[in-house]
């Protein structure tokens, strides 16, 4: 092989360069997002009532669609009450209903949104609950 | 490999079956929402067409006006922007000649000439702003409220050009720094840069059975009710006293009436 030294050194530099982002971020890249649902508001509720408006699996996958629907129902159709699959009723409001329980936007919303690199523009207008520094 | 007609039909049938089945399965989750229902709030105030009567005889001092303005601007997180070219207002005061142009008279009494009139969105029966909005961000509700859907507003400002009452304000910059922290209402959103806003007749308060904030703060100066209900308070006042509206000749059918 001609110029073996140069080629091998070049290859090593190339491999290091390409894998640099993974080396630098290290374990952080592998960390899964863990949204926290242990806000004081939720912990205050009795065990049986610690339920979101729909099932956990549904909310995980479809909360963005549900929020869109809520928005249309409230703003455009003027219906304010949501009746869920179990027949329980809720006031449809991001600030007055969702964030009353999930008062930890940074640990609940941002946790996954940052991981998935999505930037929903909810908070351009809607006011996030004030979080206590801990 | 060649297939005969019979083979082909078998394969086609099977594939479409798998396809349809897959779609149905994936929509299983969606069904949960479809099974859910929505309904209007039980305590909501309803009407065929909301209207406000401004009883000018109840507005005597500057504070009488300011109380209404502050009540509205506080609960709706309306920013206080010092530059008048960029200001945002939902309810404000205007002189007689500005509020009722064409009616000013050379020999108008000094009292009326300098009297401030409380003005707000007229929630017109035939709103020009709704007609020009290209995204239907502003629309008319069944109860007569000319409503804003901030999610849809693209900030084209056609509605501002169309509104003959100047009831609309554009957010030239992020309004958040101009809302005092102690005045912030955490239960109502702010707006963002690049959208148009105006009075929404407190749709969010009506939904929970409360009258608009300005009406509540006015100590009887503003009367709120259903104009299509002959027994409503507003109709009683309008049938007994002389009333006038802003620019009725334009045919917009304003729902805000003034009485002396």
Q: Hey, which residues 56-75 in chain A have their CB within 8 Å of chain B?
A: 57-58, 61-62, 65-66, 69, 71, 73, 75
What does the pLDDT read at residue A133? 59
Determine the residue of chain A that is closest to B174 in CA distance.
Answer: A124
Question: Least CB-CB distance to B141: which of A78, A92, A95?
Answer: A78
Q: Which residues of B touch A58 (CB under 8 A)?
A: 29, 32-33
Task: Assign domain B50-259 to a CATH class.
Answer: alpha beta
Residue-range domain boundaries for chain B: 5-35, 50-259
Banded model confidence at residue B30, pLDDT cuts 50, 70, 90: low
Does residue B181 belong to the interface with chain A, where contact is any CB pair within 8 Å? no
**Spatial contact of B188 and B204, defined as CB atoms under 8 Å apart:** yes
What pLDDT digit, counting tens, does each position of B76-107 carry? 999 999 999 999 999 999 999 899 988 888 88
What predicted TM-score, i.e. pTM, was given to this entire model?
A: 0.80
* H-type alpha helices, A72-131: 99-101, 105-115, 122-125
CA distance B47 to chain A (A): 13
3-state secondary structure of A80: coil
CA distance B91 to chain A (A): 21
> Residue B185 half-sphere exposure, CB side, CA atoms within 13 Å?
17
Q: What count of CB pairs under 8 Å joins A to B?
A: 79
What pLDDT digit, counting tens, does each position of B165-201 carry? 999 999 999 999 999 888 889 899 999 999 999 999 9
Residue B1 has pLDDT above 70, yes or no: no
- Cα A51 to Cα A68, A107, B31: the distances in Å are 20, 18, 19
What does the pLDDT read at residue B91? 94
Residue-range domain boundaries for chain A: 1-30, 32-125
What does the pLDDT read at residue B132? 96
Beta-ladder partners of B140: B146
Is A125 in Cβ contact with B186 (below 8 Å)? Answer: no
Is B37 in Cβ contact with A127 (below 8 Å)? Answer: no
Between CA B171 and CA B195 the distance in angstroms is 6
CA distance A76 to chain B (A): 7
What does the pLDDT read at residue A47? 83
Is B151 in Cβ contact with A127 (below 8 Å)? Answer: no
What pLDDT digit, counting tens, does each position of B32-83 carry? 555 568 888 888 888 999 999 999 999 988 899 999 999 999 999 999 999 9
Burial B112-133 (b: 16+ CB within 10 A, else e): beeebbbbbbbbbbebbbbebb
HEC per residue, chain B: CCCCHHHHHHHHHHHHHHHHHHHHHHCHHHHHHHHCEEECCCCCCCCCCEEEEEEHHHCCCHHHHHHHHHHHHHHCCCCCCCCCCCCCCCEEEECHHHHCCCCCCCCCCHHHHCCCEEEECCCCCCCHHHHHCCCCCEEECCCCCEEECCCCCCCCCHHHHHCCCCCCEECCCCCHHHCCHHHCCCCCCCCCCCCEECCCCCHHHHCCCCCCHHHHHCCCCEEEEECCCCCCHHHHHHHHCCEECCCHHHCCCCCEEEEC
Q: What is the mean pLDDT of each run of 10 residues along chain A (134 residues)?
A: 90 94 77 84 85 88 90 89 86 91 89 89 90 64
What does the pLDDT read at residue B26? 64
Is B191 in Cβ contact with A54 (below 8 Å)? Answer: no
Q: How far apart are the first and last CA of chain B?
A: 93
What does the pLDDT read at residue A67? 92
What pLDDT digit, counting tens, does each position of B229-246 carry? 999 999 999 999 999 999
Does residue A25 belong to the interface with chain B, where contact is any CB pair within 8 Å? no
Is B40 in Cβ contact with A127 (below 8 Å)? Answer: no
Banded model confidence at residue B260, pLDDT cuts 50, 70, 90: confident
């Amino acid at each position: 092989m001609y110029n073996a030294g140069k080629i091998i050194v070049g290859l090593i530099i190339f491999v290091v360069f390409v894998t640099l982002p993974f080396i630098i971020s290290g374990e952080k890249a592998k960390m899964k997002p863990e949204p926290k649902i242990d806000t004081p508001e939720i912990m205050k509720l009795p065990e049986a009532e610690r339920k979101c408006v729909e099932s956990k699996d549904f909310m995980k996958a479809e909360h963005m669609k549900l929020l869109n629907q809520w928005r249309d129902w409230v703003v455009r159709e003027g219906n304010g009450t949501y009746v869920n699959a179990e027949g329980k009723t809720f006031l449809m409001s991001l600030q007055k209903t969702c964030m009353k329980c999930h008062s930890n936007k940074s640990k609940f919303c941002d946790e996954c949104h940052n991981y998935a690199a999505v930037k929903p523009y909810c908070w351009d207008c809607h006011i996030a609950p004030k979080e206590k520094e801990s | 490999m060649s297939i005969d007609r019979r083979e082909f039909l078998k394969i086609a049938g099977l594939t479409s079956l798998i396809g349809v089945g897959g779609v149905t399965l994936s929509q299983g989750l969606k069904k949960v929402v479809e099974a859910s229902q929505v309904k209007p709030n039980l305590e909501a105030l309803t009407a065929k067409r909301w209207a406000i009567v401004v009883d000018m005889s109840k507005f005597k001092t500057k504070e009488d006006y300011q109380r209404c303005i502050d009540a509205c601007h506080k609960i709706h997180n309306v920013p206080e922007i010092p530059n008048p070219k960029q200001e945002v207002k939902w309810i404000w005061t205007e002189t007689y000649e500005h509020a009722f142009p064409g009616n000013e008279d050379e020999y108008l009494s000094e009292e009326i000439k300098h009297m401030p009139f409380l003005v707000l969105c007229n929630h017109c029966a035939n709103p020009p702003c709704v007609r020009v909005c290209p995204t239907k961000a502003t629309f008319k509700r069944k109860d007569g409220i000319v409503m804003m859907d901030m999610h849809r507003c693209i900030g084209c400002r056609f509605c501002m050009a169309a509104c003959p009452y100047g009831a609309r304000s554009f957010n030239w910059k992020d309004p958040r720094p101009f809302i005092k922290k102690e005045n912030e209402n955490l239960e109502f959103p702010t707006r963002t840069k690049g959208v148009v806003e105006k009075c929404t007749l407190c749709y969010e308060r009506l939904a929970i059975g409360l009258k608009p904030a300005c009406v509540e703060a006015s100590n009887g100066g503003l009367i709120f009710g259903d104009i299509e209900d002959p027994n409503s308070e507003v109709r009683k006042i309008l049938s007994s006293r002389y009333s006038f509206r802003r620019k009725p000749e334009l045919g917009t059918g304003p729902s805000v009436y003034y009485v002396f």
